[in-house]
């Protein structure tokens, strides 16, 4: 595996964790908004 493939794999892993973190933040915000509406 050359450096380019390593870089691509590292970016893919980072993007996956970043997306997961964003989804958790959005879910928490939605729960907060829903809680305020009740």
| Total of domains in the chain | 1
Domain hosting 37: range is 1-38
- Please report the pLDDT score of residue 38 as a whole number: 63
Residue 16 buriedness (CB in 10 A; 0-12 / 13-18 / 19+): exposed
Tokens representing residue 3 in the block: 């450096």
Q: Please give the model's pTM, rounded to 2 decimal places.
A: 0.62
Q: Which of residues 36 and 7 earns the better pLDDT score?
A: 7
Q: What is the DSSP letter of 38?
A: -
Question: With 80 as the cut, is the pLDDT of residue 37 above it?
Answer: no
Per-residue pLDDT tens over the stretch 13-26 = 999 999 999 999 99
């Amino acid at each position: 595996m050359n450096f380019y493939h390593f870089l691509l794999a590292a970016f893919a892993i980072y993007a996956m964790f970043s997306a997961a973190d964003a989804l958790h933040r959005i879910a928490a915000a939605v729960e907060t908004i829903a809680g305020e509406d009740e």
